[in-house]
Amino acid sequence: MRIALDYRPALVNREGIGRYTRELVRALVELGHGPELGLFGWTLAPRRASRAELGIRGAGAHYSRLRFPSRWFPRFAALTGRGAEDFCGGAELWHHTQPSLLPVRKAREVSTIFDCIYTRDNGFLSRAAAASMTASARRQIERSRLVLVPSEFVKDELVLAFGIDPEQVVVTLLGCDHALREPALPRARDAGETILTVARVDRRKNHVRMLRAFEIVVRARRAARWIVAGPAGHGSEDFEQALAGSPARANVEWLRYVPEGELGALHARAGLFWFTSLDEGFGLPPLEAMARGLPTISATRGSLPEVLGAGALLLDPEDVEALARETLELFSDGGRAGELARRGRARAAQLTWQACAAQTWEAYARALGEES
């Protein structure tokens, strides 16, 4: 098979979509498919991922990289009579790894859709953004022979929201073993009562309720600290205002930017991980924490129960008192915290990028094997 992928997210995106594209291609290369891959990297944005992170050196893949404005490419393709696949060695199948679709000439198409959060009027996005994202997902579905999703939860949501045939949707659970690529750092001496949350600060991620729970924790354990790592997103002003007036604000450290290479050091500073999101299509941050041995408290919403399984303590994300109570119990009971950490490592070990890549390659074969 000859497969071409939109590789732009791998080069310039530092969030989940970029991680997915980088690690999927890296794993496909590790499985021996490098010479069968074409990687389209035309974008004006500067590359933000190092060559070591990409992991494609010497892979034999056809890597096409040009500093060229993405918004101009459709016009350029129309003028030249070529599709995106033609600029990275040609392909039988094109994989759209993001909603910003590129023109394809002859290749069959598959797409990855990460969630359906934008299809519900939940206040997590502006109405304009939600409408735009819904329209983009619809275009992906219309153009794709198969749609890849990261969880059974998203598959069910996609079927309900868009009426897509369930047979057209393939679940490829993501991996988290990238978290173990670098040597583990020793836990900091004062990590025991330090909580870490890694997530964009927006309404969906539930930071205001976590802050209220943390205030209860601080009243009982004055030395407790909470590190919040993530940029401001939609509705972040709610958290900013709550934090400004919080009696626990001196115990909260908000890091708006943490380089990806420093995430392991950040995990080593903490003794507990919070991720009580109100909705998720997958949930990489808690898995990364679990892989690195952090006892993790997460939520009973979205894909999180499916993805995290017994590896995390799952709570109603709106129950502030329960989050505070369970946190204080884990601080007090080292044996229970250790058992939760052990279960977290075991669950994280089950989710690898090579398994994701193998399932994805099977989907490629299926997409090419079906008749029009």
pLDDT in tens, 287-306: 999 999 999 999 999 999 99
Q: pLDDT of 22-36, one tens digit each?
A: 999 999 999 999 999
pLDDT band at 261 (very low <50, low <70, confident <90, very high): confident
Rounded alpha-carbon distances, angstroms, from residue 151 to 145, 154, 172: 19, 5, 7
Q: Name the CATH superfamily housing domain 178-349.
A: Glycogen Phosphorylase B; (3.40.50.2000)
Rounded alpha-carbon distances, angstroms, from residue 107 to 35, 126, 190, 200, 225: 18, 35, 55, 36, 53
Q: Which residue has the tokens 């894909």?
A: 303
* pLDDT in the model for residue 371: 45
Domain ranges of the chain: 3-175+352-369, 178-349
Q: pLDDT of 360-370, one tens digit each?
A: 999 999 999 95
Rounded alpha-carbon distances, angstroms, from residue 239 to 32, 192, 249, 266: 46, 25, 11, 21
pLDDT band at 53 (very low <50, low <70, confident <90, very high): confident
In this prediction, residues 313-317 reach a mean pLDDT of 98
CA dist., res. 234 & res. 221, Å (int): 31
Q: How many CA atoms lie within 13 A of 189 on its CB side?
A: 0
CA dist., res. 361 & res. 364, Å (int): 5
* Predicted model pTM: 0.94
The pLDDT > 70 percentage for the chain reads 99
CA dist., res. 337 & res. 294, Å (int): 9
Report the mean per-residue pLDDT for the chain: 95
In this prediction, residues 163-183 reach a mean pLDDT of 95
- CATH code for 3-175+352-369? 3.40.50.2000
Contact 120, 32 (CB under 8 A): no
Helix (H/G/I), strand (E/B), else coil: 34: helix
* pLDDT in the model for residue 370: 58
Where is average pLDDT lowest: 31-40, 124-133, 238-247?
124-133
The pLDDT > 90 percentage for the chain reads 89
The residues with which 198 forms a beta bridge, in sequence order, are 229
* pLDDT in the model for residue 274: 98
CA dist., res. 304 & res. 14, Å (int): 21
Nearest to 224 by CA among 247, 258, 255, 199: 247
* pLDDT in the model for residue 171: 98
